[in-house]
Chain A
Amino acid sequence: MELQAVVMAAGGGSRMMDLTYSMPKPLLPVGNKPLIWYPLNLLERIGFEEVIVITTKEVQKQMHIDTKMKLEMVCIQEDADMGTADALRHIQQKIKTDILVVSCDLITDVALHEVVDLFRAHDATLSMLMSKTHEFTETVPGQKGKKKTGEQRDFVGVDSSGKRLLFMANEADLDEELVIKKSIMRKHPRMHIKTGLVDAHLYCLKKSVVDFLADNKSITSIRGELIPYLVRKQFSASTNSQKTKNDSEKNQKKMDLKTPDIHISSKDEDLLDLAREKSCWNDHRGDMSDAYHGGKLRCYVHIMEDGMCYRVNTLAAYIEANRLAPKVFSEELPVHPTAEISEQSMVGADSIIGAACHVSEKSSIKRSTIGASSCIKEKVKITNSIIMNGVTIEDGCSIQGSVICNQAVIGRGADIKYCLVGSGQCIEAEAERNNEVIVSTDQLMEI
C-alpha cells in the first residue's frame, strides 16, 4: 500500500464558536452536506478505499455519511485537548506506510496528484498544499467595521522552481525581523517569499515522521510545530554532513539521548544513491554540490494558482464556502425531492432546499441554503442566507445575509439583517436586528 489517509475531525472550531458551540465543526452543514463530507469526497474521488477518521464520540454518533470507502473511526476524548500531532501519535500503531493527513474543514477541488507526485518523485519527507488567498466578499454577521488584517500572516519561502519549501514562519512568532539562516541562502541564493497564501492543511508525510513523533512527545500540533521543524531541519548541519558510517552511528546515539532524530534512510539506499549519482540531473545549478545538495530531508509545496480551496475555520469562510461549494460539488438536485414548495413561492436557481422542507406561499428564497425539515411560512423573504435544520420562520419575515442555526425560531414580521442567530434561539415577533450575534447568554461566558 502506498498511502494511508487520515482525516482530522476532532477540532473544536475555536475561531467560530458562535456556530460550533452547539454543533461540532465536522458536522456543520455546507450546502446541506456536513463539512466532513467534502474531504471524504475528495479522497473517494481520487481512489482511496480506506480512511482513518480521528474524531470525538459526539461526532461519531451524529455522523451519517454514505460513502463507498471504509471509514475507520478513532475516537478521542473531547476534553483531552489533543493537538493534531498528539492524535497522530495516538494512532501510530495503525500506520503502516506513508500518510496523507487532511483536515476536516478543507473544501477544495485540487488535482491531488500534483501534491503526491512531488512526494513520490523527489522522495520527499513532506509535501503540502497551499493556495492563493481569495478575498471574502460577503458581509460577515457580527463584524463591526472592516475586517481585521491582523490575521496572522504566513511567510513562505520557496526556491526558484516554486516547488521546494525553504522557509516557513508565522508573523506571530516573529518580533520585528524576519531571520533567514545563511545556510539556506548559500544553497538557494534565489528565494521567493510569499505572504498571500492559505495553508490547506493537507500533508503527505513519510512514515519515519510518524515514528519520530512517537518518540518525540514535545510536539503537539502538526501545523504549528511539526511542519516548521521539518522545514528548518532540511538545512541543519546534522542531516547534511557527510560523515562515515561509524561516525554517524555514534552521533545518532548521542542525539537519541537528547532529542530523537528522524531516520530517513531506507533499505537498498545505496542502490538508489548510485542511480542518482549516475543520473545527469540536478535540481539546481551554479554551485558544486550534487542534486538536492546531498540533503536527505526535503520538503515540497504545491501552490494552487486557480481552483477552489477553502478552509472553513472562520465565519467568513463558512459563508463563502456555502456560497461556492454547492456549485462545484452538487451532484444532487438543488431542491430536494421531498421538500414541499408551494407554487406561488419563488425559489431562485442558486438556492438549495433540504429534505422535508416546507415552503409556503408567496415566499421568496434567493441565493440561500435551507436545511432539512425547516418550515418557512408565508410571505417570507430570504436573501443570501444560510438556514440550518429544523428552523421555523414565521410569516412576513425578512432575512438578509444571515446565518440561522439549528432549531431557531424567527417570530412573525421579524427583520433580520446580517445577523447570526445561534442554535435554539427565538427571535421575538417584529424584531429588527442588524449586524448582531444572537446567542444564548451562558455561551457568552466562554473565553
Chain B
Amino acid sequence: MAGTEGLTQQELNNSTGETRDETDSKKNDYLQSKVEGKALSKEEKLKLRKDKKQQKKNKKDDKGPVKEEKAKKPVPVMDGQQAQQQKAPPTSPLMTPEAPPTGEKSGKSKVELRADRRARQDLDRTSKQGKKGDRSQLASTAKTKAPPSEPQPVVKRLPEHIQADDPAVLKKVAKKLERQQIPLRLDYGSKVSLFSHLHQHSRKAPLTQQMSIPSTVIHPSIVRLGLQYSQGIIAGSNSRCIALLHAFKQVIRDYATPRNEELSRDLVNKLKPYISFLNQCRPLSASMGNAIKYIKKEISNVSSNIKEEEAKTTIQNCIDKYIKEKIHLAAKAISKSAFEKISDGDVILVYGCSSLVNYILCDAYERGRKFRVIVVDSRPRLEGRETLRRLVKKGISCTYVLITAVSYMLPEVSKVFLGAHALLANGYVMSRVGASQIALVAKAYNVPVLVCCETYKFCERVQTDSFVSNELDDPDDLIVTQKGKTELQNWQDIASLRLLNLVYDVTPPDFVDLVITDLGMIPCTSVPVVLRVKNVDQ
C-alpha cells in the first residue's frame, strides 16, 4: 500500500513543481523507513508533523506569486539515513553552497555533522524569515493592503506657513493668492537662521497698503478684522475666535446666493479667500482653525430645500450656539472645577494675560475665596499689565514681577495657573513664550502647574519643540528707547545682528500636573483620548 502511494506520489512529483519534490521525497524516505520496519521514534513523529506543515506552506507558496520561487535548486538527494537529520529543506531562493553533501552516509565525523546541522539551522531561520515575508506578501495580495517590508519614502506634506525658505512653496502660495486677488505680505528684516522657515512681518507695512481702499474683493468686516489682528488690537485666542465668528456673521448677513449656485457650496468658496487674507495678516490660531472647520461643516450640512433667509439664520444661530457652548459655558465649567482647586490662603502665580485664567480668578474671588496673585510678565508684549489691571480692579491683591524674577518668587507660590493657546495631540501645551520656563521652574520647586484650556482648542497637531511651528512677531517691538537713546534704531544695518521676537512655545506634559477642561480635570496625556471622543461624536 505504501509503495503504491509512493509511486503515485512520484508520478505527481513529475507533473507538479519542484517544490514538492523535496517534501515528497522526504515522505518517501519516511515511508521507506516505515517500510523498512523502523518504529516511529519521537523524533520521527516530530519530523512528520513538520513535514505536513511544510507541505501546507508549500501549497500556499505555489498559489502565491510565482516570481519568488524561481531558484534552481539542486534537488538535494536525501537518503533515508539522513532523513532524520534533515529538516525542512530551504524553499527560499537562498541556497548555500554548503548543501548537505550528498551521497555520504557514514564517514562523516561528528564535527562535520554538527557543522552541517548548524548550517541547516541558519538556512531554516533565513528561510522562515523569507517565508514570513512571503506570507505577508501573500496576505497583502489577498487583503490588498501593503505593510512596508522595507521603509518606503513617504511624501510628507508640511503646511505652507512653516516653509518660508522654500522658493517653490513661496511661488505656489503667491500664485494662489494672486488667484484669490489677495496681496502677498512681504517678509521684513533678517531672520535668525533657526527660524528662517517662518514668516516675519513688520507692523508698519499692513496688508491694506496694497489693496484698494473701498475693498471690493474682501468683505469690509474681514478687512477690519485683519487690521485688528495685525496691529494686535484683538489678541488672545478666545478673543480672536469670537471676533472671527462675529465677522463671519456679518459676511453671512450680507451674502446673497448667486443664481445657479447652492448656498452650501458657494458660501464655503466665498469664505476661502477671506481665510487666506486673515492668514496673511496673522497666522491663524488653533481655536480659529477649529471654529472654521465647524462653520464649514455646518454650512455644507445646510439642506438645499430651505430658503436662503432661513439658511442664513440657521448658520448664524449655529455660530451663536458654538460661542455659547464652547466659550461661555466652557469657561463656567472650568471655573467651577478650578474653584475646588483654589483654597483660602493660596498664592497663585499667573503668567501673561489669559482671558480664561482671569475669569477663573475673578469668579473665585467673587465666591469668597481668599487668595493673592503673583502676576509674571515678560517683554516685549508686557501683557501682564492688563492682567494686573483687571485683577486689581476686581479687588484681588496682586504682586507684579518680570519673568526674570520668577525663581525668587516661587518659594512663596502654592500653585501656578497657566492659560493655553492650544493643546497638542501628544499632550504638549502650546502657550505664550515663557510659559514653558514658568512650568520648568515650578517643577523644580515642586509647585503644581495647572493648565486651563477649553476643549475647542485641542488640536490634532503633534509637536515636541518650539522650533518647528511657531510665529515670529515684528522684530521692531524689541527696540526700546531709554533716556532718549535708542540703541537698536538701525539694527538692520549691522549685518551680523538678528532680532528674534517669538510668540509661542511648547511645554512638555511632564511639567504639567493637571489640565482643567470643560470635560473635567484630566492629565496632559489624555488629550488624544478627548480628541478621539470628539471625532466620534461628530
Name A residues whose Cβ lies closer than 8 Å to a Cβ of B.
Answer: 1-5, 46-49, 100, 111-113, 116-117, 120-123, 268, 271-272, 274-282, 285, 288
List 6 additional contacts besides A2-B220, A120-B220; criterion CB under 8 Å.
Answer: A47-B216, A48-B214, A122-B233, A279-B235, A279-B236, A280-B387
B227 within 8 A of A: yes
**Chain B residues numbered 200-248 whose CB sits less than 8 Å from any CB in chain A:** 206, 208-209, 211-216, 220, 223-224, 227-228, 231-236, 238-240, 242-243, 245-246
- On whether the beta carbons of B389 and A282 are closer than 8 Å, the reply is yes
B384 nearest CB neighbor, chain A only = A280
B392 within 8 A of A: yes
- On whether the beta carbons of B209 and A111 are closer than 8 Å, the reply is yes
Q: How far is the CB of B191 from chain A (nearest CB, A)?
A: 26
- On whether the beta carbons of A47 and B212 are closer than 8 Å, the reply is yes
- On whether the beta carbons of A275 and B243 are closer than 8 Å, the reply is yes
Report the Cα distance A247→B274, complex, angstroms: 39
Report the Cα distance A280→B235, complex, angstroms: 6
- On whether the beta carbons of A280 and B383 are closer than 8 Å, the reply is yes
Q: Chain B contacts of A268 at CB under 8 A?
A: 246, 249-250
Q: How far is the CB of A402 from chain B (nearest CB, A)?
A: 39
A280-B236 CB under 8 A given contacts A111-B209, A271-B246, A285-B385: yes
A291 nearest CB neighbor, chain B only = B233
Q: Chain A contacts of B242 at CB under 8 A?
A: 271, 274-275, 278
Report the Cα distance A428→B212, complex, angstroms: 54
A3-B235 CB under 8 A given contacts A117-B206, A272-B243: no
Q: For chain B, give the interface size range.
A: 35 or more
Point out the residue from B206, B239, B392 that lies within 8 Å of A276, measured CB to CB: B239
- On whether the beta carbons of A123 and B224 are closer than 8 Å, the reply is yes
B353 within 8 A of A: yes
Q: Interface digits, B420-460 against A, CB 8 Å rule (1 contact, 0 not)? A: 00000000000000000000000000000000000000000
Point out the residue from B215, B234, B236, B386 that lies within 8 Å of A2, measured CB to CB: B215
Q: How far is the CB of B499 from chain A (nearest CB, A)?
A: 22
A5 nearest CB neighbor, chain B only = B214
Q: Chain B contacts of A275 at CB under 8 A?
A: 234, 239-240, 242-243, 246
Q: Chain B contacts of A120 at CB under 8 A?
A: 208, 220, 223-224, 227
A280-B386 CB under 8 A given contacts A2-B223, A122-B233, A272-B243: yes
A4 nearest CB neighbor, chain B only = B214
- On whether the beta carbons of B353 and A280 are closer than 8 Å, the reply is yes
Report the Cα distance A122→B392, complex, angstroms: 26
- On whether the beta carbons of A116 and B233 are closer than 8 Å, the reply is no
Report the Cα distance A271→B220, complex, angstroms: 17
Q: Chain A contacts of B393 at CB under 8 A?
A: 288
Q: How far is the CB of B387 from chain A (nearest CB, A)?
A: 8
Name B residues whose Cβ lies closer than 8 Å to a Cβ of A.
Answer: 206, 208-209, 211-216, 220, 223-224, 227-228, 231-236, 238-240, 242-243, 245-246, 249-250, 323, 352-353, 355, 383, 385-387, 389, 392-393
Point out the residue from B211, B214, B227, B236 that lies within 8 Å of A121, measured CB to CB: B227
- On whether the beta carbons of A47 and B214 are closer than 8 Å, the reply is yes
Report the Cα distance A384→B303, complex, angstroms: 73
Point out the residue from A113, A278, A288 that lies within 8 Å of B206, measured CB to CB: A113
Q: Chain A contacts of B211 at CB under 8 A?
A: 47, 113
Point out the residue from A2, A5, A121, A281 that lies within 8 Å of B235, measured CB to CB: A281
B249 nearest CB neighbor, chain A only = A268
- On whether the beta carbons of B231 and A271 are closer than 8 Å, the reply is no
B215 nearest CB neighbor, chain A only = A2
Q: How far is the CB of B454 from chain A (nearest CB, A)?
A: 12
Report the Cα distance A120→B213, complex, angstroms: 11
Q: Chain B contacts of A111 at CB under 8 A?
A: 209
B359 nearest CB neighbor, chain A only = A278
Q: Chain B contacts of A279 at CB under 8 A?
A: 233-236, 239-240, 243, 355
- On whether the beta carbons of B236 and A112 are closer than 8 Å, the reply is no
A271-B233 CB under 8 A given contacts A112-B213, A282-B389, A285-B385: no
Q: Chain A contacts of B249 at CB under 8 A?
A: 268, 271
Report the Cα distance A112→B233, complex, angstroms: 21
- On whether the beta carbons of A46 and B212 are closer than 8 Å, the reply is yes
Can you give 5 A-B contacts (C-beta < 8 A)?
A: A121-B224, A278-B236, A279-B240, A280-B355, A281-B234
Q: Chain B contacts of A2 at CB under 8 A?
A: 213-215, 220, 223
Report the Cα distance A117→B228, complex, angstroms: 9
B250 nearest CB neighbor, chain A only = A268
Q: Chain A contacts of B223 at CB under 8 A?
A: 2, 120
Q: Chain A contacts of B216 at CB under 8 A?
A: 1, 47, 49
A278-B355 CB under 8 A given contacts A121-B224, A122-B233, A285-B385: yes
Report the Cα distance A280→B383, complex, angstroms: 6
Report the Cα distance A117→B239, complex, angstroms: 20
Q: Chain B contacts of A122 at CB under 8 A?
A: 233
Most chain A CB within a 10 A radius of its CB, from B213, B323, B352, B392: B213
Most chain B CB within a 10 A radius of its CB, from A2, A123, A276, A277: A2
Q: How far is the CB of A300 from chain B (nearest CB, A)?
A: 13
- On whether the beta carbons of B209 and A121 are closer than 8 Å, the reply is no
A121-B228 CB under 8 A given contacts A278-B355, A281-B235: yes
- On whether the beta carbons of B213 and A121 are closer than 8 Å, the reply is no
Report the Cα distance A121→B235, complex, angstroms: 13
A47 nearest CB neighbor, chain B only = B212
A116-B224 CB under 8 A given contacts A122-B233, A288-B389: no
